[in-house]
Amino acid sequence: MTEFLVFIDILNDQRVSGWCLNGADAGTPARLMFYGDHHKIGEIVAGNFREDLKALNFHPTGHCGFDFSIPDTNILEDSACLYVYARGSDEPVWQCRTDEIPRIITGKLPTVFFMHIPKTAGTSFNTFACSRFSANSTATHIENMDEDNYPALQREKSYLAGHLPLRLIKQRFDVSRFDLLTMLREPYRQLHSHVDWIKNIGADPESDFFLSHHRFFRALALKLNEPGFSIVDELESLARHQPKDLVSLFDNNQTRYFLDNIPQKVTASDFYAAKRNLDYFKLTGVTEQYAEFAASFCNSYASNYVEQKHRFNQSEREQLFDCRDNYVRSKLLPLVEFDLMLYEHVVENRLWEVSRPGRS
């Protein structure tokens, strides 16, 4: 029997979006049929180009994506399950109970801006949140867009997200029009993920992936991959001698996202400034309480909460250092000292459960 691998990126009562790998012939896009119980509601060819899967060498051509529009939301109300079949397969290649399908937010749409701090499960949350909005009302990774597009995004979109610190959000958007959201992560683990990501850039200096990055990142990645380089013993010194923009990768990276300036080294006064700026955010969560943050988001906007089955962008590479080891924690403390204080403040006050009026 032909094997098909189906992965769903976006699921709600209006659309099913994702990709399908045809195990017997990866170069031929699969034809998918959608059923509400036993009633066929449509079909589509999974042939949309997915640049991400092609870049990761997961699919030979990248032409495996699909975006299916559910023709009538009443179908889900009248059906117990949504099934997806592939031509050539006798059994469903994917299925879901209809009561587990998120409903999009109705009525007057909120305007939400998610400040995506790197390596905090932001990619997973973007996917979760975008499932609650219609297809054309969201934009993520806006840091990669031309700034000239920002006014249109502010007018036309209901959900924006990007690796933009608060100071740039305030400079380029009218924050009084947005509910600001963000998430932090246990700082040693966030630092580990950040270092791992940059180190991976230099794993193959001949690859297109390596060459696609800025020369500053390439140099840093190569340094982290030098045979004699000790991340635990030398990372602080390496970070201290980088230009301001690169210091921010390793020195209290999460605190920096809440600042109105770009310090060479984060200090106690910067921590207190970041803590004050938490008042701009309606919800501030932590990765370790991800489900609670997601549920609070749904509760805030009257959307049904359905547990997210897949988390995205998680590394399976070998650990670079043990975040629980006392020696490691002592050596790396200067790089996470104020992130720890900010993280603990958010956890102690459970800010993902508090509706905070934004400042004007």
pLDDT tens digit sequence for 203-212: 999 988 888 8
- The three-state secondary structure class of 78 is coil
CATH number of 104-360: 3.40.50
Note the CATH number of domain 4-100: 2.60.40
Residue 92 to residue 26: CA distance in whole angstroms? 19
Q: To the nearest whole number, what is the mean pLDDT of the chain?
A: 90
In DSSP notation, 251-273 reads SSHHHHTT-SS--SS--HHHHHH
pLDDT at 356 (0 to 100) = 52
Q: What is the greatest pairwise CA distance in the chain?
A: 64
Q: How does DSSP classify residue 213?
A: S
Could you tell me which residues are beta bridge partners of residue 114? 161, 181
pLDDT in tens, 58-84: 788 889 999 999 998 788 888 999 999
Contact (Cβ atoms closer than 8 angstroms) between residue 309 and residue 140: no
Which positions ≥6 away from 27 have C-beta within 8 Å? 60, 61
Residue 312: pLDDT above 70?
no
User: Which of 287-291's residues contact partners 24+ apart within 8 Å by CB, and which partners?
Assistant: 287/120, 287/121, 287/183, 287/184, 287/185, 287/186, 287/189, 287/190, 288/185, 288/186, 288/347, 289/347, 289/352, 290/121, 290/124, 290/125, 290/183
Of 80, 138, 131, 128, residue with least CA distance to 104: 131
Q: Where are the domains of the chain?
A: 4-100, 104-360
Tell me: pLDDT of 311 over 70.
no
Q: What 3-state DSSP class applies to 246? A: helix
Report DSSP state, residue 147: G
What is the chain's length? Answer: 360
Structure confidence at residue 129 (pLDDT): 93
Q: What is the pLDDT of residue 2?
A: 56
Evaluate whether 201 touches 221 at the Cβ level (below 8 Å).
yes
Rounded to whole angstroms, what are the CA distances from 165 to 54, 132, 216, 293? 30, 24, 20, 20
Residue type, 221: A
